[in-house]
Amino acid sequence: MRPMQFLACLPCAFLALEAALAQDGPLTPASPAPSMLPPVEDPASLARPESVEAAMREHTLRRGQLETELRRIRQTYFRNPRAKDLRAAGIEKLRQYTEPATFEAMIEIFARSGDDVVGAIFEHLASLDTPEALATIAWAAVFEDHRGRRGMAHDTLAHALKGREVPRSVQSVVAEGLRRTHDPHVANAAGLAATLRLADAIPAMIASQVRGAGEQRGDRSLAYILIGQQQAFVSDLQPVVGNSAVAFDPELSVVTEGVVLRVIDAVVVTYRVEVHAALVRLTSELSGQDTAYLGWDIPRWQRWYAQEFLPGRQ
């Protein structure tokens, strides 16, 4: 997985998003997560820039110290994949870290230490059962590039939230994934929403299952096809005179005869099959009827949600 630049802002950012999403209503794609601000004892001090800067410096220093400790643990306990007892002791060491500032670092630093270590980290975060920890697992389940680690995060979160209400911090991650333009991220978010039976994500999933884009270029051609013949001819002739010598400098041009087909406009429509399948699975389970008949018709899905699904749940 590439460095998880967004995970760094999860611990405090999703607490802010959780408060912002406290009102009832369907889950809609959220705006990008704000920059992380470490918690302060006096909320009124946020109005003083020097207090924010001091808190940021303290948080950055603390996070650097924790990352150094985690790297030492990796070098000490996880260099040899066959030393099972040593690795078990290292995993036990990792369970002692419960500060939100370490969540992103643990996943990033130990990403290549083995599936047993990564799985233990996800289980440790799930056992903490805090909004920050659960949001970190959800973020890995949606935005992790490595398929194996993404699957472990997905399964761990599904097991941790089975039969429970989905926290707002996790819903915010799903909403962020559904609003992305990168198709795999959207598909991962839709799959997670279906697994968690997140009914509030249905409107965003309906809007995300088909992505269309049109672009008008005017006189700029996107492409062209030429079928014809070209004939060269002398369009200009300049005499060149020297001592006891005369020459000519010809200028050649080409005339084309035939047909030219120019493409000056294009529309691309992407059908996200995985998102559609997750939407059908989720809505069929929640409504008790097969919704596959709605197909890819977005307005029809929206009418069904407003006129049948919501009244039925109420």
3-state secondary structure of 195: helix
Which of 74-78, 141-145, 169-173, 259-263 shows the lowest mean pLDDT across its residues? 259-263
Residue in the block written with tokens 């967004």: 6
The predicted structure's pLDDT at residue 220: 62
Residues 18/172, Cβ–Cβ less than 8 Å: yes
Where are the domains positioned within the chain?
A: 7-211, 223-263, 273-313
Instruction: Give the integer Cα–Cα distance in Å for 59 and 69.
Output: 15
Secondary structure E strands in the chain: 210-216, 223-242, 245-263, 265-271
Instruction: Give the integer Cα–Cα distance in Å for 169 and 128.
Output: 14
Work out the pLDDT band at 213, boundaries 50, 70, 90. Answer: low
The predicted structure's pLDDT at residue 152: 95
Given a cut of 80, whether residue 10 has pLDDT beyond it is: no
Q: For 290-311, how does the pLDDT look when each residue is reduced to its tens digit (9 = 90+)?
A: 999 999 999 999 999 999 999 8
pTM value is 0.69
Instruction: Give the integer Cα–Cα distance in Å for 89 and 7.
Output: 27
Q: For 48-95, how does the pLDDT look when each residue is reduced to its tens digit (9 = 90+)?
A: 566 777 777 877 787 788 889 999 999 999 988 888 899 999 999 999
What would you report as the CA-atom Rg of the chain, rounded to the nearest whole angstrom? 29
The predicted structure's pLDDT at residue 221: 63
Mean pLDDT of the chain: 81
Q: For 159-187, how does the pLDDT look when each residue is reduced to its tens digit (9 = 90+)?
A: 999 988 999 999 999 999 999 989 999 99
